[in-house]
C-alpha cells in the first residue's frame, strides 16, 4: 500500500465525475482506510450528497464485467479488495452526452458518480469487492428510471483490458442499447409552488423557456395537504421554490386567519423541509421583514426574530423549519410589488380618481419588485451561492409609505398635495396587525454574491409606465 498519501480529488472530462485518492495505511496485518469521511471529503471537493444506503458487490473471478448502468441517484464507489478497470459514460442530457472516462481503481482510489452517468467496471483480479454509497433507496420502481448503454457500444468504444468475449458478462447487460438508441437521462427539475401569486408569476417570467423548471399553483399542488407531497416522485427534482404564503396581515389577527396563516406559512413549510431533507433537495423559501419588530434601523440576516403579530410569527416559524434543510436559501424581503393587488396599484387607482388618501409616514423600508426577487433567486441558484439567509429588496434610499405614495402621484401626473401624511397610531383600526417601524434590510450579503438589485425608485418608474390616469 502507498504510505504517506493524502486525500485528494481531481476532476474528469465528465462534469461532476470526481476521482479521489484515498490514504491507505498498511502493515504486516493488512491495511486500513477511511472509506468515507464526510467533513474531510467535503473539504476535498466531494458534494455533500447524503448517502442513505451502502451496497457491496463481490466478484469471484477476474474478467467479471458489470454495467453500463446510469442510475437516478449519486453514488460514491471504492474497493475493499482487488483491482478494477472502471469506465464511466455520460448518459445525461447535454453537450457531454456520450463522453467517456476510464481509470484503474484499487482500494487507494474512489470515484464519485453523479446521477445519470453510466457506471461500469471490469475486475482485474479474483475476489474483488466493490462497495458503494448511494443517496436514495433502491426499489423496483426506482429501477424504471435507470438508463443503460451496451458494453460494446462503438461510439463509447470502451478499451476493456480483457476483451468482452473473454469476460463474464450477464445476459441482460449484453442486451442494452447502443448510444444512438439511448434516451438521455433528463436533468433534475425545480418545482415552484404557489406559482400563481405575485412572485410565482415573476418566476414564470424569469425562467421562461427553461424546461427544467415546473410551476404548480394550488390546483396542481395544495401545500397544506399531506397527500400532495406523497404524490410526487421527488427523485426527479433538485429544488423546491416556495413562492406560496398567506399574506393577509390584518386577516391573520382573526381566528380564521390565524389558523390559515399558520397552516400555510409554518406547517406547510415544515412539510416542504421534510421532503427536502429526505430527498436531498434544495429549498428556497421566502421570508418577510415582519419577522422583526422594527426597532433596529437596519435588519441584518443574523438578527434574532421578534415578530409583533400573527403573520410575522407564522413566517418566523416557517423560517425555522426551512433552516433545518442542509441546502436552503431563505430569502428575506419586504413590501413586495408585482402582478395583482398591491399598494402601488391602490395608490395609482386613487390618483386616477383624484382621491386624497391618508398614508402612514412613520414606517420605513424599501419596495421589493417581484421581478427582481425572481431574478435574485435565479442568480443564487445558478451560481450555487453558499446556502443560508439573504436579504433581498430593491436598493436605494429607504422611504416611508407616504413618500412612496407621493412618488406614485408625481409619476402619474397627479397632484401629490392630495396625499396626506398620518402616523400609524392614528391610522390603526380594530384588528389592524402591528407593523414593524423599520423594514429596511441590509443588502450587503446578496451584493457580495454579484447581484445588485436596482433602486426601488427606478423600478417604480418602470412599473407605472403602463398606468394611465
Asked, for residue 3, whether it belongs to a domain, the answer is: no
Cell of 269: 413549510
Residues identified as active-site: 69, 132
The predicted structure's pLDDT at residue 144 = 77
Cell of 14: 465528465
d(CA 57, CA 60): 10
The predicted structure's pLDDT at residue 469 = 54
The predicted structure's pLDDT at residue 56 = 94
Same domain, 249 and 391: yes
Same domain, 279 and 146: no
Within 8 A by CB and 6+ apart from 76, the residues are 36, 46, 49, 51, 110, 111, 112, 113, 132, 133
15 by Cβ neighbours in 10 Å (0-12 / 13-18 / 19+) ranks as middle
Q: Residues in the chain, how many? A: 469
Asked, for residue 198, whether it belongs to a domain, the answer is: yes
Cell of 75: 453514488
Q: Which of 119, 151, 181 is the last residue of a domain?
A: 181
Same domain, 286 and 429: yes
The predicted structure's pLDDT at residue 432 = 87
Same domain, 432 and 367: yes
* Closest C-alpha to 111, from 176, 47, 161: 47
For 7-116, where are the E strands, in sequence order? 8-11, 18-21, 24-27, 30-33, 53-59, 64-70, 75-81, 84-90, 100-105, 109-113
d(CA 8, CA 43): 10
Whole-prediction pTM: 0.86
Q: Which of 149, 181, 213 is the last residue of a domain?
A: 181
Residues of the chain with pLDDT under 70: 1-4, 468-469
The predicted structure's pLDDT at residue 3 = 53
Same domain, 345 and 399: yes
The predicted structure's pLDDT at residue 1 = 44
Same domain, 113 and 213: no
Q: Where residue 54 sits, what CATH number does that domain have?
A: 2.60.120.10
Cell of 13: 472530462
Q: Which of 162, 181, 200 is the last residue of a domain?
A: 181
Same domain, 150 and 264: no
Q: Cell numbers 472516462 label which residue?
A: 101
d(CA 346, CA 457): 17
**Domain tally for the chain?**
2
Same domain, 167 and 238: no
Asked, for residue 419, whether it belongs to a domain, the answer is: yes
Summarize pLDDT for 273-307 with one digit per residue, the tens: 999 998 889 999 999 999 999 999 999 999 999 99
Cell of 104: 484503474
CB 104 within 8 A of CB 124: yes
Same domain, 303 and 246: yes
Same domain, 416 and 433: yes
d(CA 442, CA 447): 10
CB 368 within 8 A of CB 335: yes
Asked, for residue 250, whether it belongs to a domain, the answer is: yes
Collapse the DSSP code of 140 into the 3-class scheme (helix H, G, I; strand E, B; otherwise coil) and give the result.
helix
Same domain, 207 and 291: yes
Asked, for residue 1, whether it belongs to a domain, the answer is: no
Q: Where residue 420 sits, what CATH number does that domain have?
A: 3.40.50.720
The predicted structure's pLDDT at residue 466 = 73
Structural domain boundaries enclosing 163: 8-181
Cell of 142: 426506482
The predicted structure's pLDDT at residue 141 = 75
Same domain, 195 and 145: no
Asked, for residue 354, whether it belongs to a domain, the answer is: yes
Amino acid at each position: 500500500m502507498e504510505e504517506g498519501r493524502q486525500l485528494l480529488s481531481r476532476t474528469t472530462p465528465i462534469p461532476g465525475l470526481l476521482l479521489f485518492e484515498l490514504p491507505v495505511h498498511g502493515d504486516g496485518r493488512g491495511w486500513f482506510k477511511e472509506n468515507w469521511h464526510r467533513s474531510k471529503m467535503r473539504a476535498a471537493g466531494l458534494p455533500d450528497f447524503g448517502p442513505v444506503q451502502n451496497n457491496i458487490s463481490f466478484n469471484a473471478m477476474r474478467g467479471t464485467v458489470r454495467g453500463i448502468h446510469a442510475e437516478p441517484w449519486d453514488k460514491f464507489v471504492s474497493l475493499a479488495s482487488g483491482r478494477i478497470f472502471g469506465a464511466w459514460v455520460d448518459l445525461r442530457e447535454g453537450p457531454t452526452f456520450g463522453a467517456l472516462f476510464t481509470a484503474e481503481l484499487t482500494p487507494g482510489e474512489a470515484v464519485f458518480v453523479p446521477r445519470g452517468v453510466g457506471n461500469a467496471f471490469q475486475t482485474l483480479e479474483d475476489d474483488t469487492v466493490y462497495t458503494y454509497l448511494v443517496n436514495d433507496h433502491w426499489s423496483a420502481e426506482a429501477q424504471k428510471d435507470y438508463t443503460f448503454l451496451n458494453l460494446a457500444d462503438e461510439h463509447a468504444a470502451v478499451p476493456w483490458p480483457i476483451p468482452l468475449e473473454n469476460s463474464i458478462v450477464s445476459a441482460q447487460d449484453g442486451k442494452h442499447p447502443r448510444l444512438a438508441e439511448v434516451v438521455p437521462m433528463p436533468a433534475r427539475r425545480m418545482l415552484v409552488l404557489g406559482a400563481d401569486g405575485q412572485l410565482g408569476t415573476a418566476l414564470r417570467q424569469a425562467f421562461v423557456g427553461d424546461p427544467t423548471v415546473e410551476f404548480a399553483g394550488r390546483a396542481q399542488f395544495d401545500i397544506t395537504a399531506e397527500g400532495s407531497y406523497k404524490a410526487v416522485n421527488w427523485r426527479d427534482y433538485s429544488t423546491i421554490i416556495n413562492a406560496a404564503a398567506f399574506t393577509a396581515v390584518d386577516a391573520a389577527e382573526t381566528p380564521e386567519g390565524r389558523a390559515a396563516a399558520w397552516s400555510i406559512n409554518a406547517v406547510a413549510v415544515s412539510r416542504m423541509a421534510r421532503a427536502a431533507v429526505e430527498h436531498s433537495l434544495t429549498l428556497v423559501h421566502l421570508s418577510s421583514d415582519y419577522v422583526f419588530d422594527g426597532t433596529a434601523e437596519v435588519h441584518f440576516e443574523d438578527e434574532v426574530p421578534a415578530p409583533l403579530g400573527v403573520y410575522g410569527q407564522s413566517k418566523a416559524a416557517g423560517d425555522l423549519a426551512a433552516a433545518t434543510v442542509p441546502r436552503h436559501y431563505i430569502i428575506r424581503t419586504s413590501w413586495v410589488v408585482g402582478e395583482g393587488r398591491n399598494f402601488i396599484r391602490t395608490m395609482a387607482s386613487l390618483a386616477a380618481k383624484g382621491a386624497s388618501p391618508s398614508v402612514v409616514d412613520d414606517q420605513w423600508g424599501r419596495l421589493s419588485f417581484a421581478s427582481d426577487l425572481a431574478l435574485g433567486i435565479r442568480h443564487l441558484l445558478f451560481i450555487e451561492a453558499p446556502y443560508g439567509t439573504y436579504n433581498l429588496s430593491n436598493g436605494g434610499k429607504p422611504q416611508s409609505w407616504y413618500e412612496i405614495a407621493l412618488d406614485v402621484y408625481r409619476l402619474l401626473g397627479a397632484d401629490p398635495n392630495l396625499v396626506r401624511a398620518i402616523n400609524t397610531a392614528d391610522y390603526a383600526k380594530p384588528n389592524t396587525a402591528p407593523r414593524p417601524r423599520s423594514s429596511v434590510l441590509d443588502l450587503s450579503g446578496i451584493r457580495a454574491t454579484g447581484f445588485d438589485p436596482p433602486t426601488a425608485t427606478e423600478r417604480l418608474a418602470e412599473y407605472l409606465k403602463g398606468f394611465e390616469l
